[in-house]
Amino acid sequence: MPVDKTTTPPRPNLIDFHGVSMVHYFTDNWEKIQNFKARPDDILIATYPKAGTTWVSYILDLLYFSQTQPDRQTSTPLNDRVPFLEIMIPNQSSGTDLADSLDTCPRLIKTHLPVQLIPKSFWEQKCRVVYVARNAKDNAVSYFHFDRMTCVQPEPGDWNSFLQRFIDGKMVFGSWFDHVTGWWEKKHSHPKIHYMFFEDMVEDTGREINKLCSFLGLTSTTKEKDQINNLVV
């Protein structure tokens, strides 16, 4: 079926935003993002794009709410359960509005922002952060295919030109290298950051879930671990 280009919005252009390459879908709501009021029990899921965000969001939602809200995973879309803080798409609820409307405790909130652009209230409230890093090669390949299918990202072009932009850091949310190293350095001054690696999760999911639960002060049931192990990455 041909795509109706009259209803498809034009792809955005990259802009330089506080030294980071961005598109307007993630900066149009900037005042509300920076003034977002985090709560001490909020958990922030932070990643570079295409580094396991959805996987870890699902895992955390399952660990916290599967016993008290067993139908939650099938009754409510994940994007409503774990809002994307900085997103602002016309005719849709903004990420900040969705996060403010959450009635769960804790609130699970995801972001792709580099560490220097995180709203200060998350640090002031000493919130826990789960950061996931993925190796550059696989991250770049996944990002390329994602950009081919979504209209909220710039046109990816061919693989060679895309890879060069990835190497140069001319990607939405900036440089992969700056992102993963910025968060790595932050964890030394902010003890409530749990830094995970996508590859470790693939290698031994159970081991990494145990580490995550230890960080969060949770215990996981055999049923929850089976559900997590059955996820398609």
Note whether residue 178 is domain-resident: yes
CATH number of the domain where residue 111 is located: 3.40.50.300
Dihedral sign from CA coordinates of 15, 20, 25, 31: negative
Annotated active-site residue in 112, 145, 179, 188: 112
Q: How confident is the model at residue 105 (pLDDT cuts 50, 70, 90)?
A: very high
Does the active-site annotation cover 179? no
The model's confidence at residue 219, banded by pLDDT at 50, 70 and 90, is confident
Domain presence at residue 93 = yes
Q: 10 in a domain, yes or no?
A: no
Count: domains in the chain? 1
Whole-prediction pTM:
0.91
Whether 2 is covered by a domain: the verdict is no
Q: Given pLDDT bands bounded at 50, 70 and 90, which one contains residue 15?
A: very high
3 belongs to a structural domain = no
Q: Is the pLDDT of residue 144 over 70?
A: yes
pLDDT of residue 230: 67
* pLDDT at residue 225, rounded to an integer: 67
Residue 101: inside a domain, yes or no? yes
Specify the pLDDT at position 2. 46
Q: Specify the pLDDT at position 164.
A: 98
With respect to residue 205, please indicate whether it lies within any of the assigned structural domains: yes
Rounded Cα gap, residues 21 and 140, in angstroms:
16
Count of other CB atoms within 10 angstroms of residue 47: 27
Mean pLDDT of the chain: 91
Structural domain of 119: 15-229
Q: Are residues 106 and 82 in contact, defined by beta-carbon separation less than 8 angstroms?
A: no
Residue 7: inside a domain, yes or no? Answer: no
